[in-house]
Homo-oligomer: A and B are copies of this chain.
Amino acid sequence: MSKTLERRAKFREELILAAERNMAAGGLAGLKTRELAREIGVANGAVYNLVEDVDELILRVGSRTLGRLDVALSTAESIGPASPRETLVRIAIAYCDFAAENLELWRALFEHRMAPGKPVPEWAIREQMDLFRHIYRPLAELFPERTPVELGVTARSLFSATHGMVLLGLEQKLIAVPVVELRKEIAIIVGAMIDGLTAKAA
């Protein structure tokens, strides 16, 4: 790598880390490229030599968040009884814990919208879809007769239902629940869903 490219890579890394710190503190609304430029010591316009636009910057931060979520889910998968039902419950609880501990960065994953007319880039979609493997694997064990497409649909539903419980449970608005209660309730409901689906399939 030439000296110039090296410098650019270093500033780009610093920019993404500064954006992450800002978003962790103030969410998407807290992100001001002008402030980031000052923080890493480059001119305002220079930010756009480092990333294409704010969307790319937010997606790069999201990529780091997804990476840490991936580690958290992998850990939950491997620690504890190997039964697919228990594994799915552990993964759901780990998702809840991750959201509670990374509230603003986790919210940003779902609240971010690309500029009108701009599609989400392929690499970002792939990273998000890749995380479904944590749910897909135990489901495939539970329902060996289902096709990959059917398993994909069930994985999506299970994820969406868990996401809804975490989202509204951590919401400081209508039905805020202490995380310890929320974890218990997620275990009950996710367990019940799997039991119900298993009974149906049997």
Give the secondary structure class of A's interface. helix
Asked whether any CB of chain B lies closer than 8 Å to the CB of A191, the reply is yes
> Does B156 contact A160, Cβ atoms closer than 8 Å?
no
Within 8 A of B (CB), among A151-202: 153, 156-165, 167-169, 173-175, 177, 181, 185-186, 188-189, 191-197, 199-200
Q: How large is the interface on A (under 10, 10 to 19, 20 to 34, 35 or more residues)?
A: 35 or more
Take A153-B185, A191-B196 as given contacts and tell me if A168 and B160 are in contact as well, using a CB distance cutoff of 8 Å. Answer: yes
- How far is A163 from B161 in the complex, measured between Cα atoms in Å? 7
Residue A120 at the B interface, CB < 8 A? yes
Q: Are A157 and B185 in contact, with the CB atoms below 8 A?
A: yes
The listed residue (B153, B156, B165, B195) touching A157 by CB distance below 8 A is B165
Shortest CB–CB separation between residue A106 and chain B, in angstroms?
A: 14
Task: Specify which chain B residues have a CB less than 8 angstroms from the CB of A75 in the assembled complex.
Answer: none
Binding site for B on A (CB under 8 A): 113, 120, 125, 128-129, 153, 156-165, 167-169, 173-175, 177, 181, 185-186, 188-189, 191-197, 199-200
Pairs A-B, 9 closest by C-beta atoms: A164-B164, A192-B196, A195-B196, A196-B196, A161-B161, A160-B168, A160-B165, A163-B164, A192-B197
